[in-house]
Amino acid sequence: MASVSVDEAMRRAIELAARGLGTTSPNPVVGCVLLDADGEVVGEGFHAYAGGPHAEIVALAQAGHRAKGGTAVVTLEPCDHTGRTGPCSSALVQAGVSRVVIAVPDPTPVAAGGAATLRAAGVRVDLGVRATEAESGNIAWLTAMRRGWPYVIWKYAATLDGRSAAADGTSMWITSEAARMDVHALRATVDAVIVGVGTVLADDPRLTVRNLRDGSLAIRQPLRVVVDSAGRTPIDAQVRDGAAGTWIATTAEVGAGPDGGVDLPALLAALHTRGVRAVLLEGGPRLAGAFLAAGLVDRVVGYLAPRLLGAGPAALVDAGVTTITEAIDLEISDVTQVGPDLRITALPRKREG
């Protein structure tokens, strides 16, 4: 096998890390590629599920004795503590690797320090290779751990003129089956799905991850969270069907915000305590507006259908904007056609002051 560069190995490690999206939380996604002394790939691994072997351990097991004198290329700083598994920094030292290349340092006090341990053992450590790409692939976990509340993705579906339903309230289905399947794939990458009680009362959604073709449920389901200040969620609502965990978040439990509704920052902090690192905010327009007005949305994913209604509810209301100078500016990061629809991904720009 031909030798590969460290840069190529890191690109591969980032690809491997992505395989763990949706199954590793509350742990990060991590990928690792091991090169022997001649630069040949002798081991690969990724963190597949919380409590399971870390990426470095999987790669070391594949490499065996060929890891000695080699290079470990890993997307996140090897952990330096004993949790459900042992410290990866010690495992790399014991395997005899001579160099470890890290894309992104670990921001958590409990796990950080792997780089220092490796250097103290005489291992060469290099930081920052393909750091931007590695950070992007692990952005939800990194953001959540740096600030103490989950990464929030607001997802909505609308017609080209921005309507989320027709004038009579009907909304099934604005977008295509292809777009709806794409949403289920997006749900599978997060730890919780959030809706308001208005959405539950109007649409009675299940909010599970499933195959639309046969209705089968995914093995892992995100927590279903209903923001319901007064506890109006019906006892027979589908979100209570037992197919996934459900939390009816009331002001009595979470606390009230300035508007008298559920305190949204407190809600996110409570979810973080429960191990939630990424959430998908799915509705409705008023709840989305409250999250945006509070500056709590990290990413926007909009599915736009090539249809026009001319009337009906808007996809977003009450976002705290009263004049054009207060508009929430977005930076578009991706535009992809999904069936006949467009999926637009954008990041809210931070406001000055």
pLDDT in tens, 260-284: 999 999 999 999 999 999 999 997 8
Structural tokens at position 125: 């450590």
Q: Residue 238: what are its φ and ψ, rounded to 5°? A: -65, -25
pLDDT digits (tens, 9 = 90+) for 166-214: 998 888 889 999 999 999 999 999 999 999 999 999 889 999 998 877 7
Q: How confident is the model at residue 140 (pLDDT cuts 50, 70, 90)?
A: very high
Q: Rounded mean pLDDT of the chain?
A: 93
Q: Is 299 annotated among the ligand-binding residues?
A: no
Instruction: Give the distance, in angstroms, between the CA of residue 132 and the centroid of all CA atoms in the same chain.
Output: 16
Q: Is 290 annotated among the ligand-binding residues?
A: yes
In this structure, whether the domain defined by 6-138 belongs to CATH 3.40.140.10 is answered with yes
Find the mean pLDDT for residues 29-57: 94
Find the mean pLDDT for residues 62-89: 90
What pLDDT shows up at residue 353? 44
Angle at 20 between CA 29 and CA 283, to 5 degrees: 90
Find the mean pLDDT for residues 330-342: 97
Q: Examine the pLDDT at 350 and tell me if it is beyond 70.
A: yes
What pLDDT shows up at residue 50? 86
pLDDT greater at residue 26 or residue 213: 26
Q: Is 207 annotated among the ligand-binding residues?
A: yes
10 Å Cβ neighbour count for 145? 19
**Residue whose structure tokens are 């499933």:** 210
Q: Examine the pLDDT at 133 and tell me if it is beyond 80.
A: yes
Q: Is 308 annotated among the ligand-binding residues?
A: no
Distance CA 319, CA 344 (A): 19
What pLDDT shows up at residue 69? 96
Q: Examine the pLDDT at 329 and tell me if it is beyond 90.
A: yes
Q: Is 295 annotated among the ligand-binding residues?
A: no
Annotated active-site residue 56? The verdict is yes
The fraction of the chain above a pLDDT of 70, given in percent, is 98
- Superfamily holding 148-348: Dihydrofolate Reductase, subunit A (3.40.430.10)
What pLDDT shows up at residue 215? 76
Q: Is 348 annotated among the ligand-binding residues?
A: no
Q: Is 210 annotated among the ligand-binding residues?
A: yes
Q: Is 31 annotated among the ligand-binding residues?
A: no
Q: Please tell me which residue in 56, 177, 253, 331 is annotated as part of the active site.
A: 56
**Residue whose structure tokens are 């959604």:** 205
Least confident residue range of 86-90, 109-113, 291-295, 321-325: 109-113
What pLDDT shows up at residue 171? 81
pLDDT digits (tens, 9 = 90+) for 217-259: 877 899 999 999 999 999 999 999 989 999 999 999 999 999 8
Q: Examine the pLDDT at 332 and tell me if it is beyond 70.
A: yes
Find the mean pLDDT for residues 308-332: 93
The residues spanned by each domain of the chain are: 6-138, 148-348
